[in-house]
Amino acid sequence: MDDIDQRIIASLIADARQSYAEIGTRVSLSAPAVKRRVDRLRAGGVIRAFTTVVDPAAVGWTTEAFVELFCTGRTTPAQLTVATRRHPEVVGAYTVSGEADALVHLRAADITHLEQALERLRAEPFVTSTRSMIVLSRLVDSPTVIPTPTAG
Amino acid sequence: MDDIDQRIIASLIADARQSYAEIGTRVSLSAPAVKRRVDRLRAGGVIRAFTTVVDPAAVGWTTEAFVELFCTGRTTPAQLTVATRRHPEVVGAYTVSGEADALVHLRAADITHLEQALERLRAEPFVTSTRSMIVLSRLVDSPTVIPTPTAG
DNA sequence: GGTGAAACTATTCGCAG
DNA sequence: CTGCGAATAGTTTCACC
Protein backbone atom coordinates (compact mmCIF):
# COMPACT_ATOMS: atom_id res chain seq x y z
CA MET A 1 0.00 0.00 0.00
CA ASP A 2 1.82 3.06 -1.23
CA ASP A 3 0.67 6.50 -2.25
CA ILE A 4 -0.32 5.35 -5.77
CA ASP A 5 -2.57 2.65 -4.31
CA GLN A 6 -4.26 5.30 -2.16
CA ARG A 7 -4.90 7.46 -5.20
CA ILE A 8 -6.24 4.52 -7.20
CA ILE A 9 -8.63 3.72 -4.34
CA ALA A 10 -9.74 7.34 -4.04
CA SER A 11 -10.38 7.37 -7.77
CA LEU A 12 -12.41 4.15 -7.63
CA ILE A 13 -14.45 5.45 -4.69
CA ALA A 14 -15.33 8.51 -6.75
CA ASP A 15 -16.36 6.34 -9.70
CA ALA A 16 -16.20 2.56 -9.68
CA ARG A 17 -16.97 2.28 -13.39
CA GLN A 18 -13.95 4.22 -14.57
CA SER A 19 -11.67 2.48 -17.05
CA TYR A 20 -8.19 1.40 -15.97
CA ALA A 21 -6.79 3.69 -18.64
CA GLU A 22 -8.61 6.66 -17.11
CA ILE A 23 -7.34 5.86 -13.63
CA GLY A 24 -3.92 5.43 -15.20
CA THR A 25 -3.87 8.99 -16.47
CA ARG A 26 -4.81 10.26 -13.01
CA VAL A 27 -2.04 8.34 -11.25
CA SER A 28 0.50 8.38 -14.10
CA LEU A 29 0.51 4.66 -14.79
CA SER A 30 -0.42 2.43 -17.72
CA ALA A 31 -3.72 0.55 -17.73
CA PRO A 32 -2.13 -2.89 -17.12
CA ALA A 33 -0.19 -1.50 -14.17
CA VAL A 34 -3.38 -0.11 -12.65
CA LYS A 35 -5.20 -3.40 -13.19
CA ARG A 36 -2.44 -5.34 -11.47
CA ARG A 37 -2.62 -3.04 -8.45
CA VAL A 38 -6.43 -3.21 -8.31
CA ASP A 39 -6.30 -7.03 -8.50
CA ARG A 40 -3.79 -7.05 -5.66
CA LEU A 41 -5.90 -4.67 -3.55
CA ARG A 42 -8.96 -6.86 -4.13
CA ALA A 43 -7.10 -10.06 -3.27
CA GLY A 44 -5.70 -8.42 -0.14
CA GLY A 45 -9.16 -7.40 1.05
CA VAL A 46 -8.48 -3.67 0.88
CA ILE A 47 -11.08 -3.31 -1.87
CA ARG A 48 -14.13 -5.24 -0.72
CA ALA A 49 -16.59 -4.55 -3.50
CA PHE A 50 -17.69 -2.32 -6.32
CA THR A 51 -21.19 -1.14 -5.63
CA THR A 52 -23.87 1.33 -6.58
CA VAL A 53 -25.31 4.07 -4.40
CA VAL A 54 -29.05 4.22 -4.87
CA ASP A 55 -31.52 6.82 -3.65
CA PRO A 56 -33.26 4.79 -0.91
CA ALA A 57 -36.55 6.61 -1.44
CA ALA A 58 -36.55 5.79 -5.16
CA VAL A 59 -36.18 2.15 -4.30
CA GLY A 60 -39.01 2.19 -1.81
CA TRP A 61 -37.17 2.44 1.51
CA THR A 62 -38.35 5.71 2.97
CA THR A 63 -38.04 5.06 6.68
CA GLU A 64 -34.90 4.75 8.68
CA ALA A 65 -34.03 4.38 12.36
CA PHE A 66 -31.15 3.86 14.72
CA VAL A 67 -31.97 1.54 17.59
CA GLU A 68 -29.93 1.21 20.75
CA LEU A 69 -29.96 -2.35 22.04
CA PHE A 70 -29.69 -3.18 25.72
CA CYS A 71 -28.79 -6.83 26.16
CA THR A 72 -28.47 -9.46 28.86
CA GLY A 73 -25.06 -9.69 30.49
CA ARG A 74 -23.96 -12.82 28.73
CA THR A 75 -24.49 -11.63 25.12
CA THR A 76 -21.54 -12.12 22.78
CA PRO A 77 -20.79 -10.04 19.69
CA ALA A 78 -21.07 -13.26 17.66
CA GLN A 79 -24.65 -13.76 18.88
CA LEU A 80 -25.47 -10.18 17.94
CA THR A 81 -23.98 -10.62 14.49
CA VAL A 82 -25.98 -13.76 13.77
CA ALA A 83 -29.18 -12.26 15.13
CA THR A 84 -28.93 -8.93 13.33
CA ARG A 85 -28.00 -10.50 9.99
CA ARG A 86 -31.22 -12.48 10.09
CA HIS A 87 -33.18 -9.25 9.66
CA PRO A 88 -33.01 -7.83 6.14
CA GLU A 89 -33.91 -4.37 7.46
CA VAL A 90 -30.61 -4.17 9.37
CA VAL A 91 -28.13 -2.23 7.26
CA GLY A 92 -25.63 -1.65 10.04
CA ALA A 93 -24.93 -3.02 13.51
CA TYR A 94 -22.19 -2.14 15.94
CA THR A 95 -21.24 -2.95 19.50
CA VAL A 96 -20.67 0.32 21.28
CA SER A 97 -19.36 1.82 24.48
CA GLY A 98 -21.75 3.81 26.63
CA GLU A 99 -25.14 2.93 28.06
CA ALA A 100 -26.32 0.71 25.21
CA ASP A 101 -24.61 -2.51 24.18
CA ALA A 102 -25.22 -2.21 20.47
CA LEU A 103 -26.47 0.24 17.89
CA VAL A 104 -28.50 -1.06 14.97
CA HIS A 105 -29.24 0.87 11.81
CA LEU A 106 -32.59 -0.12 10.26
CA ARG A 107 -34.07 0.75 6.88
CA ALA A 108 -37.68 -0.05 6.02
CA ALA A 109 -40.36 0.69 3.45
CA ASP A 110 -42.55 2.68 5.85
CA ILE A 111 -43.37 3.14 9.52
CA THR A 112 -45.43 -0.05 9.63
CA HIS A 113 -42.62 -2.06 8.13
CA LEU A 114 -40.18 -0.44 10.56
CA GLU A 115 -42.42 -1.28 13.49
CA GLN A 116 -42.55 -4.92 12.39
CA ALA A 117 -38.79 -5.09 12.02
CA LEU A 118 -38.36 -3.52 15.44
CA GLU A 119 -40.72 -6.03 17.05
CA ARG A 120 -38.84 -8.90 15.47
CA LEU A 121 -35.59 -7.43 16.78
CA ARG A 122 -37.04 -6.95 20.28
CA ALA A 123 -38.14 -10.57 20.22
CA GLU A 124 -34.50 -11.74 20.16
CA PRO A 125 -33.93 -13.57 23.47
CA PHE A 126 -30.90 -11.53 24.56
CA VAL A 127 -32.57 -8.11 24.06
CA THR A 128 -33.75 -6.67 27.37
CA SER A 129 -34.82 -3.29 26.02
CA THR A 130 -34.38 -0.90 23.11
CA ARG A 131 -34.35 2.84 22.51
CA SER A 132 -35.21 4.03 19.01
CA MET A 133 -34.26 7.14 17.12
CA ILE A 134 -36.33 7.54 13.98
CA VAL A 135 -34.47 9.41 11.26
CA LEU A 136 -36.34 12.58 10.38
CA SER A 137 -33.95 13.81 7.72
CA ARG A 138 -30.66 12.69 6.32
CA LEU A 139 -28.21 15.60 6.50
CA VAL A 140 -25.01 13.82 5.48
CA ASP A 141 -24.61 10.30 4.14
CA SER A 142 -21.22 9.76 2.54
CA PRO A 143 -21.24 6.42 0.74
CA THR A 144 -17.60 5.88 1.61
CA VAL A 145 -14.90 8.08 2.99
CA ILE A 146 -12.32 9.49 0.66
CA PRO A 147 -9.07 8.42 2.24
CA THR A 148 -7.23 11.45 3.54
CA PRO A 149 -6.44 10.21 7.06
CA THR A 150 -3.74 12.55 8.35
CA ALA A 151 -6.18 15.39 8.89
CA GLY A 152 -5.70 15.56 12.66
CA MET B 1 -39.32 2.21 -12.55
CA ASP B 2 -40.51 -1.29 -13.33
CA ASP B 3 -39.41 -4.72 -12.19
CA ILE B 4 -36.57 -4.86 -14.72
CA ASP B 5 -35.13 -1.57 -13.42
CA GLN B 6 -35.21 -3.02 -9.92
CA ARG B 7 -33.29 -6.08 -11.05
CA ILE B 8 -30.74 -3.98 -12.93
CA ILE B 9 -30.20 -1.91 -9.78
CA ALA B 10 -29.86 -5.01 -7.62
CA SER B 11 -27.30 -6.36 -10.05
CA LEU B 12 -25.31 -3.13 -10.05
CA ILE B 13 -25.37 -2.98 -6.26
CA ALA B 14 -23.88 -6.47 -6.19
CA ASP B 15 -21.16 -5.48 -8.68
CA ALA B 16 -20.88 -2.01 -10.16
CA ARG B 17 -18.19 -3.07 -12.66
CA GLN B 18 -20.31 -5.62 -14.50
CA SER B 19 -20.70 -5.15 -18.23
CA TYR B 20 -24.07 -4.17 -19.66
CA ALA B 21 -24.10 -7.43 -21.60
CA GLU B 22 -23.70 -9.40 -18.35
CA ILE B 23 -26.55 -7.51 -16.69
CA GLY B 24 -28.51 -8.08 -19.88
CA THR B 25 -28.29 -11.85 -19.56
CA ARG B 26 -29.55 -11.61 -15.97
CA VAL B 27 -32.57 -9.49 -16.88
CA SER B 28 -33.15 -10.87 -20.40
CA LEU B 29 -32.34 -7.69 -22.27
CA SER B 30 -29.73 -6.63 -24.81
CA ALA B 31 -26.72 -4.60 -23.70
CA PRO B 32 -27.91 -1.35 -25.33
CA ALA B 33 -31.31 -1.71 -23.70
CA VAL B 34 -29.64 -2.10 -20.31
CA LYS B 35 -27.45 0.94 -20.93
CA ARG B 36 -30.46 3.07 -21.88
CA ARG B 37 -32.17 2.10 -18.62
CA VAL B 38 -29.06 2.74 -16.54
CA ASP B 39 -28.60 6.14 -18.17
CA ARG B 40 -32.22 6.98 -17.42
CA LEU B 41 -31.88 5.83 -13.80
CA ARG B 42 -28.76 7.94 -13.40
CA ALA B 43 -30.38 11.00 -14.96
CA GLY B 44 -33.42 10.53 -12.74
CA GLY B 45 -31.31 10.41 -9.59
CA VAL B 46 -32.25 6.86 -8.69
CA ILE B 47 -28.65 5.75 -9.22
CA ARG B 48 -26.51 8.31 -7.41
CA ALA B 49 -23.02 6.93 -7.92
CA PHE B 50 -20.87 3.91 -8.63
CA THR B 51 -18.45 3.51 -5.78
CA THR B 52 -15.99 1.17 -4.14
CA VAL B 53 -16.27 -0.35 -0.69
CA VAL B 54 -12.92 -0.21 1.03
CA ASP B 55 -11.81 -1.84 4.27
CA PRO B 56 -11.65 1.25 6.51
CA ALA B 57 -8.82 -0.21 8.59
CA ALA B 58 -6.70 -0.80 5.49
CA VAL B 59 -7.09 2.82 4.59
CA GLY B 60 -6.11 4.04 8.03
CA TRP B 61 -9.48 4.80 9.61
CA THR B 62 -9.67 2.46 12.57
CA THR B 63 -11.89 4.40 14.96
CA GLU B 64 -15.57 5.05 14.63
CA ALA B 65 -18.25 6.63 16.81
CA PHE B 66 -21.88 7.63 16.84
CA VAL B 67 -22.51 10.92 18.63
CA GLU B 68 -25.90 12.12 19.77
CA LEU B 69 -26.17 15.89 19.50
CA PHE B 70 -28.32 17.96 21.83
CA CYS B 71 -28.91 21.41 20.36
CA THR B 72 -30.35 24.75 21.29
CA GLY B 73 -34.04 25.21 20.56
CA ARG B 74 -33.62 27.36 17.51
CA THR B 75 -31.35 25.01 15.51
CA THR B 76 -32.49 24.27 11.94
CA PRO B 77 -31.66 21.14 9.94
CA ALA B 78 -29.95 23.42 7.40
CA GLN B 79 -27.58 24.73 10.11
CA LEU B 80 -26.80 21.17 11.14
CA THR B 81 -26.10 20.17 7.55
CA VAL B 82 -23.69 23.01 6.96
CA ALA B 83 -21.95 22.48 10.28
CA THR B 84 -21.54 18.72 10.00
CA ARG B 85 -20.31 18.88 6.39
CA ARG B 86 -17.46 21.11 7.52
CA HIS B 87 -15.95 18.19 9.42
CA PRO B 88 -14.34 15.57 7.17
CA GLU B 89 -14.71 12.95 9.90
CA VAL B 90 -18.51 13.07 9.60
CA VAL B 91 -19.63 10.22 7.36
CA GLY B 92 -23.29 10.42 8.30
CA ALA B 93 -25.60 12.86 10.05
CA TYR B 94 -29.32 12.62 10.70
CA THR B 95 -31.96 14.56 12.58
CA VAL B 96 -33.78 12.10 14.80
CA SER B 97 -36.77 11.73 17.04
CA GLY B 98 -36.18 10.92 20.68
CA GLU B 99 -34.05 12.61 23.31
CA ALA B 100 -31.29 13.79 21.00
CA ASP B 101 -31.79 16.21 18.13
CA ALA B 102 -29.26 14.68 15.76
CA LEU B 103 -27.09 11.61 15.37
CA VAL B 104 -23.66 11.99 13.83
CA HIS B 105 -21.53 9.13 12.52
CA LEU B 106 -17.80 9.86 12.82
CA ARG B 107 -14.83 8.01 11.38
CA ALA B 108 -11.28 8.85 12.42
CA ALA B 109 -7.74 7.55 12.19
CA ASP B 110 -7.44 6.82 15.92
CA ILE B 111 -8.82 7.81 19.31
CA THR B 112 -6.80 11.01 19.38
CA HIS B 113 -8.10 12.02 15.99
CA LEU B 114 -11.64 11.14 17.07
CA GLU B 115 -11.27 13.23 20.23
CA GLN B 116 -10.16 16.21 18.15
CA ALA B 117 -13.08 15.81 15.75
CA LEU B 118 -15.47 15.56 18.69
CA GLU B 119 -14.10 18.71 20.29
CA ARG B 120 -14.49 20.58 17.02
CA LEU B 121 -18.07 19.33 16.78
CA ARG B 122 -18.83 20.32 20.37
CA ALA B 123 -17.47 23.78 19.63
CA GLU B 124 -20.33 24.42 17.18
CA PRO B 125 -22.42 27.24 18.72
CA PHE B 126 -25.75 25.40 18.63
CA VAL B 127 -24.48 22.24 20.38
CA THR B 128 -25.49 22.23 24.03
CA SER B 129 -24.22 18.74 24.82
CA THR B 130 -23.25 15.42 23.24
CA ARG B 131 -23.36 11.75 24.11
CA SER B 132 -20.88 9.47 22.37
CA MET B 133 -20.98 5.81 21.53
CA ILE B 134 -17.59 4.54 20.43
CA VAL B 135 -17.86 1.63 18.04
CA LEU B 136 -16.20 -1.42 19.53
CA SER B 137 -16.85 -3.77 16.64
CA ARG B 138 -18.69 -3.63 13.37
CA LEU B 139 -21.15 -6.53 13.23
CA VAL B 140 -23.03 -5.62 10.07
CA ASP B 141 -22.23 -2.87 7.58
CA SER B 142 -24.10 -3.32 4.32
CA PRO B 143 -22.77 -0.87 1.79
CA THR B 144 -26.23 -0.52 0.27
CA VAL B 145 -29.46 -2.39 0.66
CA ILE B 146 -30.50 -4.88 -1.96
CA PRO B 147 -33.93 -3.68 -2.96
CA THR B 148 -36.52 -6.21 -1.84
CA PRO B 149 -38.98 -3.79 -0.19
CA THR B 150 -42.20 -5.76 -0.01
CA ALA B 151 -41.00 -7.84 2.94
CA GLY B 152 -43.62 -6.52 5.34
C1' DG C 1 -36.51 -2.81 -27.44
C1' DG C 2 -33.28 -5.27 -30.96
C1' DT C 3 -29.26 -5.35 -34.47
C1' DG C 4 -24.95 -4.60 -36.38
C1' DA C 5 -20.76 -1.74 -37.07
C1' DA C 6 -17.21 1.40 -35.42
C1' DA C 7 -14.64 3.17 -31.57
C1' DC C 8 -12.98 2.26 -27.43
C1' DT C 9 -11.36 -0.78 -23.30
C1' DA C 10 -9.77 -4.75 -21.04
C1' DT C 11 -6.75 -8.23 -20.72
C1' DT C 12 -2.95 -11.10 -21.77
C1' DC C 13 1.41 -11.44 -23.61
C1' DG C 14 6.55 -10.77 -24.09
C1' DC C 15 10.12 -7.66 -22.79
C1' DA C 16 12.76 -4.09 -20.16
C1' DG C 17 14.38 -1.68 -16.00
C1' DC D 1 9.13 -7.28 -8.54
C1' DT D 2 6.97 -3.54 -11.17
C1' DG D 3 6.00 -1.09 -15.28
C1' DC D 4 5.58 -0.63 -20.48
C1' DG D 5 3.91 -1.39 -25.34
C1' DA D 6 1.48 -4.28 -28.69
C1' DA D 7 -2.10 -7.62 -30.05
C1' DT D 8 -6.45 -10.03 -29.25
C1' DA D 9 -10.90 -10.38 -27.15
C1' DG D 10 -14.62 -8.07 -25.36
C1' DT D 11 -17.51 -3.75 -24.38
C1' DT D 12 -19.65 0.57 -25.17
C1' DT D 13 -22.07 3.36 -28.09
C1' DC D 14 -24.16 4.87 -32.17
C1' DA D 15 -27.48 4.99 -36.08
C1' DC D 16 -31.15 2.50 -37.82
C1' DC D 17 -35.13 -0.97 -37.90
Please give the residue of chain A at the shortest CA–CA distance from B80: A139
Average pLDDT of chain B is: 92
| Same structural domain, B60 and B37 | no
pLDDT tens by residue, A69-123: 999 999 999 999 999 999 999 999 999 999 999 999 999 999 999 999 999 999 9
Containing A7, the helix (H) or strand (E) segment is: helix A3-14
Residue B132 has pLDDT above 80, yes or no: yes
Indicate whether B67 belongs to any domain. yes
Residue numbers of the domain that contains B113: 56-134
Whether residue B93 sits in one domain with residue B26: no
> B42: Cβ–Cβ under 8 A, 6 or more apart, which residues?
none
- In this structure, what CATH number is given to the domain that contains residue A114? 3.30.70.920
pLDDT at position A152, please?
A: 30
Q: Which of A58, A29, A39, A13 is nearest to A148 (CA)?
A: A13
Bridge-partner residues for A103, per DSSP?
A68, A94
Please check whether residue A149 lies inside any domain of the structure. Answer: no
pLDDT digits (tens, 9 = 90+) for A39-66: 999 999 999 999 999 999 988 889 999 9
The shortest CB-CB distance from B139 to any of A94, A110, A152 is to A94
Question: Looking at residue B150, what is its pLDDT?
Answer: 35
Asked whether B128 and B82 are in contact (CB, 8 A), the reply is: no
Q: Which residues contact B76 (CB under 8 A, 6 or more apart)?
A: none
Strand-pair partners of B90: B106
- Is the same domain home to B63 and B106? yes
Q: Are residues A68 and A24 in the same domain?
A: no
Indicate the pTM of the whole model. 0.86
CA A139 to chain centre: 17
Same-domain status, A84 and A121: yes
Chain D nucleotides covered by protein, CB below 7 Å: 2-6, 10-15
B78 belongs to a structural domain: yes
Q: Which residue in B has a C-alpha nearest to residue A147's C-alpha?
A: B59
Residues close to nucleic acid strand D (C-beta < 7 A)? A 4, 24, 28-33, 36-37; B 19-22, 31-32, 35
**Res A145: pLDDT:** 52
Question: Between chain A and chain B, how many beta carbons pairs sit less than 8 Å apart?
Answer: 265
- Per CA to C1' distance, which residue is closest to D14? B32
For residue B54, the model assigns a pLDDT of 93
The domain total for chain B is 2
E-assigned strand segments in chain A? 47-54, 63-71, 90-96, 102-108, 127-141
Which chain B positions have a beta carbon within 8 Å of A66's beta carbon? 66, 94, 96, 103
